[in-house]
Amino acid sequence: MPARTTVLVTGGAGFIGSHTCVELLDHGYDVVVVDDYSNSVPGALERVAKIAARPPVAVHEIDLLDRRALSRVFDEHRVDAVIHFAARKAVGESVELPVEYYDTNVGGTTALLHAMRDHGVHRLVFSSSCSIYGDATKVPLTEADPARPTNPYAASKWLCEQVLADICRHLAGFSVLALRYFNPVGAHPSGLLGEVPRKAVPNNVMPYLARVAAGRLPRLSVFGGDYPTADGTGVRDYIHVMDVAEGHRLALEHLDDEVGMRVFNLGTGRGTSVLELLAAFQRACGRPIPYEVTDRRPGDVPALVADPGAVARAWNWSTARDLDVMCRDAWRFQELNPSGYPN
């Protein structure tokens, strides 16, 4: 892409979005953020400005479904490409609020496509998810493995991929890269940027571990000890959020390789059980972490691990940060930000 490239980042104040903004700014891109702060806080962007070589060019607090407001953003900035993170992303919540999930995730994506087409913007990196593979028994998973979403969140991501593939078939010049990430965890090494769940009791295991280590929660409930895995606990492919951010920058730089829709897994290829993750976090924080093995969590699958070979072959790139680095960075962020970002 040309030197002064302007990238519109939807959901740029979120966990992965904010880390990707730092990556883009540090590599000379101009960044325009759109976020409605429904699952993020402006404080994250203040930290982005503090860490990155330069602050984002502009931040617009709008809902993607507000088409006039979104169109005005494209009128105001010469957008060269878009990275679309903005979405609802809690599996359990999606079962309770299916309409909201399809409205935000699918409706938000088509509203964005409207604005992109009307402003001649044809390059998009889309935030997809390994959750579309559903209850996959195969380990590891390639992009050719079937999508079998088992909840409205995963189904909304799969639907978006199908919409984007069809748009590419019918609208000349569109180039879309969909990244199916596995389990993004960790934090920026500065300790200034990290994962700040809105709920006092996080859904995801890594922020939960951090709060147990900090003494803010009594113990970790290990959801299930009878899975068909080495130690009976769930296995996931944890990937450092800075590797995820780097993957998005590389996707941006490969959008012009060809027109049309391409899909890539974003994972390390290494599976880690809950008990292995807990042991790694204990090494990072230097203290024992109380836990108890409880019943399985409804909707969980035994194992989800990526085959990262497609990205390695296409971009000559693979993840660089291992589990100990993920835990070390997550713990540093927890220690420096016990209450998250200042409101």
Residues in the chain: 343
Cα dist from 32 to 56, 73, 172, 180, 242, whole Å: 6, 9, 25, 23, 19
Question: Minimum distance between the CB of residue 17 and ligand WQD, rounded to whole angstroms?
Answer: 13
Contact with ligand WQD (CB under 6 A) among 150, 216, 223, 269: 223
Contact with ligand WQD (CB under 6 A) among 19, 89, 211, 240: 89
The H or E element spanning position 65 is none
- Backbone torsions φ then ψ of 176, nearest 5 degrees: -130, 135
Contact 223, 298 (CB under 8 A): no
Contact with ligand WQD (CB under 6 A) among 221, 225, 269, 310: 221
Residue bearing tokens 């291992």 = 322
Nearer to ligand WQD, 101 or 208 (CB): 208
Contact with ligand WQD (CB under 6 A) among 26, 143, 253, 300: 300
CB atoms within 10 A of CB 138: 12
Nearer to ligand WQD, 74 or 331 (CB): 331
Contact with ligand WQD (CB under 6 A) among 39, 183, 268, 319: 183
281 binds ligand WQD (CB under 6 A): no
Question: Minimum distance between the CB of residue 264 and ligand WQD, rounded to whole angstroms?
Answer: 14
Question: Minimum distance between the CB of residue 255 and ligand WQD, rounded to whole angstroms?
Answer: 21
Q: Is the dihedral of CA 175, 248, 33, 76 positive or negative?
A: negative
Q: Is the dihedral of CA 10, 131, 139, 197 positive or negative?
A: positive
List the structure tokens of 92: 């359990």
Contact with ligand WQD (CB under 6 A) among 71, 110, 150, 203: 203
Residue bearing tokens 């579309």 = 132
List the structure tokens of 157: 């991501």
Nearer to ligand WQD, 115 or 187 (CB): 187
Residue type, 288: P
- Tell me whether residue 153 is one of the annotated catalytic residues: yes
Binding span for ligand WQD by CB under 6 A among 29-37, 217-225, 310-318, 332-340: 217-225
Contact with ligand WQD (CB under 6 A) among 120, 138, 297, 335: 297
Question: Minimum distance between the CB of residue 329 and ligand WQD, rounded to whole angstroms?
Answer: 16
Q: Which of 101, 153, 181, 341 is catalytic?
A: 153
Task: Return the residue nearest ligand WQD (CB atom).
Answer: 234
Binding span for ligand WQD by CB under 6 A among 28-36, 159-167, 204-212, 319-327: 204-212
Question: Minimum distance between the CB of residue 209 and ligand WQD, rounded to whole angstroms?
Answer: 8
Contact 234, 303 (CB under 8 A): yes
Contact 214, 334 (CB under 8 A): yes
Give, as ranges, the residues between 118 and 157 that touch ligand WQD (CB under 6 A).
Answer: 129-131
Cα dist from 63 to 60, 103, 105, 333, whole Å: 9, 12, 12, 29
Question: Minimum distance between the CB of residue 77 and ligand WQD, rounded to whole angstroms?
Answer: 28
d(CA 288, CA 316): 39
Number of residues that bind ligand WQD (CB under 6 A): 20
CA atoms within 13 A on the CB side of 6: 14
DSSP label at 146? P
Nearer to ligand WQD, 186 or 234 (CB): 234
Binding mask 228-267 for ligand WQD (x = CB under 6 A): ------x-x-------------------------------
Q: Is the dihedral of CA 178, 329, 13, 79 positive or negative?
A: negative
Residues that bind ligand WQD (CB under 6 A): 89, 91, 129-131, 181, 183, 203-205, 208, 220-223, 234, 236, 274, 297, 300
Name the residues annotated as catalytic. Answer: 153
